[in-house]
């Protein structure tokens, strides 16, 4: 009896406290309690907002794209969750490694970096792909070629990163016609198959298990441009489907 009355009073006090407008102004660090109340409020709002359905995938037409879009855009879909976004090209640059790095950015602040079309970094996602090597060659066609080692470095666990070393082979699956929003392209389908035994981390499962990553690229037979690809982006994101809507 005593316990329940205490609990009731406790709950009442707690409701009163969270109901209070906890707030902070000025350049000092926001106190923990204020931040907690703010987060609680945001979570409630997000929950209310999430009651609406998942945004439907817009039906793209070439006419609409031509009329409204300036610059290069890609469509990226996370295969597992079917979450998608449109990313615009921000930068195209060269560094000391072969290939051209293009950085694509979504409106909600997610970046993907691709070296000659091969995904080498994600930014703004949980457990980002911090860096990766790519089997691309200076002056050659876009996309991967040949055989060799690829290293994926992934943010993980306690503010650390883990490096995965995989041995990759690229095979040519021949000519494929693909269609992207009413335009058809004649492409070569390249498949990069990478295998390795786990990572250095005990928590990267399967230091004993064999792991396999398979990336697909569809590369324009004439221009060497990558029109679409399906690439692995780390343990958190899994596979991404990427296709180029406009080339800018």
Partner 1 sequence: MGLSVTTTRQYRARAVLTGLAMTAGLLQAAPVLAQSKPFAGQSNASAEEAPRYKRLPAPSLNFYGTSGLIDMPSAEMQPDGQWSTSFSWFAGQSRYNLTFQATPWLSASFRYNGIRDLSGTAFSTYYDRGFDVRARLWREGHWRPAVTIGLQDFAGTGVYASEYIVATKSFDTPALGSGRSPGRLKVTAGLGWGRLGTYGALGSLAGNRTGFTPGGTGGSLSTESWFRGDVAPFGGIEWEINDRWGLKAEYSSDAYLAESRDSGIFERRSPLNFGLEYQWTPGTRIGAYYLYGSELGITAQIQLNPKHPRVPMQVPALAPVLPRNQWATESAHWGQDWAQSSASKRQVRDLVAEALKSDGLTLEAITLSGTEVELRYRNNRYRSETLAAGRAARLIANVLPPSVETFRLVPVRRGIGLSTTVLRRSDLEALEFVPDAPDALAAVSTVTNAAPLAADAILSEELYPAFSTSVSPYSSQGYFDPDQPFRLDLGVDFAASYTPAPGWRIAGAIRQRLWGNIANGRASNSVLPHVRTDQAEYAQHGTTLNNLYVSRHWQPGRNTYARVTAGLLESMYGGISGEMLWKPAASPLALGVEGNYVRQRAFDQRFGFRDYQTFTGHASAYLELGKGYVAQVDAGRYLAGDYGATFSIDRTFKNGWSVGGFFTRTNVSAADFGEGSFDKGFRFRIPLDWMLGKPSRNSFGLTIRPTQRDGGQRVAVPGRLYGSVRAAHRLSLTEQRARFWE
Instruction: Pick the binder of partner 1 from 1, 4, 16, 222 (CB under 8 A).
Output: 16
Q: Does the protein bind partner 1 through residue 44 (CB under 8 A)?
A: no
Tell me how crowded residue 117 is: count the other CB atoms within 10 A of its CB: 27
Contact (Cβ atoms closer than 8 angstroms) between residue 121 and residue 130 = yes
Shortest gap between Cβ of 81 and partner 1 (angstroms)? 11
**Nearby residues of 217 by Cβ (< 8 Å), 6 or more positions away:** 117, 118, 143, 144, 189, 190, 191, 192, 226, 228, 229
Identify any residues that bridge with 55 across adjacent strands, giving them in sequence order.
Answer: none
Shortest gap between Cβ of 141 and partner 1 (angstroms)? 19
The alpha carbons of the chain give a radius of gyration, in whole angstroms, of 24
Which residues ranging from 225 to 244 are in contact with partner 1 (CB under 8 A)? 228, 230, 232, 235-236, 238-239, 241, 243
Instruction: Pick the binder of partner 1 from 74, 118, 136, 164 (CB under 8 A).
Output: 164
Which residues ranging from 51 to 80 are in contact with partner 1 (CB under 8 A)? 58-61, 63-65, 67-71, 73, 79-80
Binding region for partner 1 (CB under 8 A) out of 44-52, 123-131, 139-147 = 123-131
CA distance 101 to 94: 6
CA distance 140 to 115: 12
Binding region for partner 1 (CB under 8 A) out of 45-53, 136-144, 179-187 = 179-187
């Amino acid at each position: 009896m005593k316990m329940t009355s205490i609990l009731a009073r406790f709950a009442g006090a707690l409701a009163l406290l969270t109901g209070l407008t906890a707030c902070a102004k000025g350049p000092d660090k926001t106190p923990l309690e204020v931040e907690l109340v703010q987060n609680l409020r945001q979570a409630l709002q997000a929950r209310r907002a999430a009651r609406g359905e998942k945004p439907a995938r817009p039906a793209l037409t070439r006419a609409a794209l031509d009329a409204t879009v300036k610059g290069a855009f890609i469509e990226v879909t996370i295969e597992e969750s079917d979450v998608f976004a449109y990313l615009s090209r921000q930068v195209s640059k060269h560094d000391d490694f072969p290939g051209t790095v293009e950085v694509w950015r979504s409106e909600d602040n997610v970046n993907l970096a691709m070296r000659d079309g091969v995904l080498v970094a994600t930014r703004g996602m949980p457990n980002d792909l911090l860096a990766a090597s790519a089997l691309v060659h200076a002056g050659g066609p876009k996309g991967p070629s040949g055989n060799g080692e690829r290293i994926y470095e992934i943010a993980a666990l306690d503010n650390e990163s883990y490096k995965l070393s995989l041995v990759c082979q690229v095979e040519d699956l021949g000519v494929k016609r693909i269609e992207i929003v009413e335009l058809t392209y004649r492409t070569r389908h390249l498949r990069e198959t990478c295998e390795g035994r786990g990572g250095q981390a005990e928590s990267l499962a399967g230091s004993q298990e064999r792991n396999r990553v398979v990336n697909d690229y569809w590369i324009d037979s004439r221009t060497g441009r990558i029109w679409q690809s399906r690439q692995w982006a780390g343990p958190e994101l899994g596979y991404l489907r990427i296709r180029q809507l406009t080339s800018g």
